[in-house]
Amino acid sequence: MKNGNKEIFIPGPSGRIQAVYYKNKQQGSPVALVLQPHPEYGGTMNNKIVYESYKVFFKNGFSVIRINFRGVEKSDGVFDNGQGELADAAAALDWIEKENAGFGQCWIAGFSFGALICMQLIMRRPEVNKFIAISPQPNVYDFTFLAPCPISGLVVYGKNDELVPEESVLNLKKKLQMQKNIDVKFDPIPNANHFFKGKEKELSSSVDRYLKDKVTVI
């Protein structure tokens, strides 16, 4: 693959996990994991939003990995309603951390269903510094486990999301903004739907701005 992006297979709890990985050669570079949308609705790691987010990370000096959850394309196993996918994400995080000993920061990002897995993973991994949740679905999934949410991050959503009423996102915002010691930024993208169709550039810009603002320069 071009630009130093490599297709790889990493060991996972259900067999091998297909992934694309970019390694930044700078010692102490930050690391990031980007998670795909729902496998049962055609989600893969090559989803446009996943790819655009991954690209923003490597352009900002990260070593970054994106994975296909179990049962997707060349990844072993079968869909497991979130529990197995969370285990896959944890295995990928283990892998990239070992590959980049002495990493500066650790970030997790996810789109739609991937945003849920991202948020569940940050509850279990104290080394993670920041998260980026794109088009989370608090109307579908219960986010009350974020009590408290352990770290600051960015939530990006489309103002015209046809799958998620804005009210449910604003309720999540209200809950998170009442918590102390964290700052979760909510960035609504005007005229964007759940998949940011035609608004991919605006989404990338939002993620890019947040990274440039929050990444510690080594």
Q: Where are the domains of the chain?
A: 2-214
Quote the tokens at residue 135. Answer: 């088009």
Q: Measure the CA–CA gap between 216 and 218, rounded to whole angstroms.
A: 6
Question: 15-68 pLDDT, tens per residue?
Answer: 999 999 999 999 999 999 999 999 999 999 999 999 999 999 999 999 999 999
Question: 97-145 pLDDT, tens per residue?
Answer: 999 999 999 999 999 999 999 999 999 999 999 999 999 999 999 999 9
Total residue length of the chain:
218
Does the domain made of 2-214 have the CATH classification 3.40.50.1820?
yes
Q: Which amino acid appears at position 75 of this protein?
A: S
0.85 exceeded by pTM: yes
CA nearest to 60, candidates 91, 104, 99: 104
Question: 155-208 pLDDT, tens per residue?
Answer: 999 999 999 999 999 999 999 999 999 999 999 999 999 999 999 999 999 999
- Collect all residues with Cβ–Cβ distance below 8 Å to 73 and sequence separation of at least 6: 18, 44
